[in-house]
Amino acid sequence: MAEVALDHIGKTYPNGYTAVHDLTLDVVDGEFLVLVGPSGCGKSTALRMVAGLEDITEGELRIDGVRMNEVMARDRDIAMVFQSYALYPHMTVADNIAFGLKLRKVPKDEIRKQVDRAAKMLGLEDLLDRRPKELSGGQRQRVAMGRAIVRNPKAFLMDEPLSNLDAKLRVQMRSEIAKLQQDMGVTTIYVTHDQVEAMTMGHRVAVMRKGLLQQVDAPQTLYDHPMNLFVAGFIGSPPMNMVEGRIEVSDGTVWAIVGEERLHVDPANVATEHAKELAADAGADELVGMLEQEGTPFVARFGPRTRVGAGDRIELYVDTARTHFFDLDTGLSITS
């Protein structure tokens, strides 16, 4: 087990494109950290820099306090699980799992013991003599994980390992990976674009966008206290409803104005001092610049026995205690 520290890490390619900007993350010993974000946000690049598969342009990577920037991938004592499984088709399950140990010239008896241990943990005992083409997608992913487990690495790195599986199997494998990590206690960095996967698996979740870290927190904290508009819109299923309006602050009373609706908001739910500063900059006793757009769609969740059909007119009530407020210019939260 190990601590993994990314200290102002950056990656710029020869063509000038910067994939990761000034990324600072401390992954504590035994933690399951998930990197999540849309395609192209830099999460896989960051993981590959930790693995040693990408050079680090700037900053410092440390594993257990030791600088790793110049250390070859094979010498970092970490194991990586890929989306594509990366199994050798001509080898049996047992040989695939044992491959790394054979390269390290581990004694045959010890190899067999480690392979049997991993196979038992992953439910592969009856499949050790089969080849990858005879396995399902979930079984192949278990073999890939078995190959990582037998190395007893300081850390696991997983790059979208469930993306090739169907929806039902993904749900099953999520719980299996989370339980396996918990049982082994190995520091794990897991990359996914699926925010539901991130929220159900990670001890902490780091949200990235366009190469920049947006927020890193426990899943419930991310959901309850998003730091900016991007996190608010990305985390949650269904996602948070966004509506443009304005805030009025008068004698300690806070109002949210949305179209013709005027909603009283608990002052404890909005940083009124910040709102007043923004209003003063605008030359009025209100936060202006967010105007309600006609036809803004809303998403609501109903009970399974609620009969609501397309075209039905319904009344919606806003729980103002659960509203969030953001500065439209900066995108940052002004919710207390």
pLDDT tens, position by position, for the chain (336 residues)? 689 999 999 999 999 999 999 999 999 999 999 999 999 999 999 999 999 999 999 999 999 999 999 999 989 999 999 888 889 999 999 999 999 899 888 999 999 999 999 999 898 999 999 999 999 988 998 899 899 989 889 999 999 988 888 888 888 889 888 988 998 899 999 999 998 999 999 999 999 999 999 999 999 999 999 999 999 999 988 888 888 888 887 777 888 888 788 888 877 777 655 544 544 444 433 333 333 345 667 787 777 888 888 788 888 777 777 888 898 888 999 886
Cβ neighbors of 127 (< 8 A, separation 6 or more) are 93, 119, 135, 139, 143
Q: Which two tokens stand for residue 260?
A: 């013709």
Q: How far is CA 51 from the centre of its chain?
A: 18
Q: Within 10 Å of residue 225's Cβ, how many Cβ atoms?
A: 15
* Beta pairing partners, 80: 157
Yes or no: say if 289 and 246 are a contact pair by the CB < 8 Å rule. Answer: yes
* Own/partner pairs, 94-102, CB within 8 angstroms, 24+ separation: 94/119, 94/128, 94/129, 96/132, 96/143, 96/146, 96/147, 97/124, 97/143, 97/146, 97/147, 97/150, 98/150, 99/147, 100/147, 100/150, 100/151, 101/150, 101/151
pLDDT at 82: 86
Cβ neighbors of 169 (< 8 A, separation 6 or more) are 136, 137, 138, 162
CATH code of domain 4-234 = 3.40.50.300
pLDDT at 288: 33
Q: Which two tokens stand for residue 82?
A: 């890929």
pLDDT at 278: 45
pLDDT at 215: 97
Q: How far is CA 115 from the centre of its chain?
A: 30
pLDDT at 217: 97
Domain boundaries, the chain: 4-234, 246-322
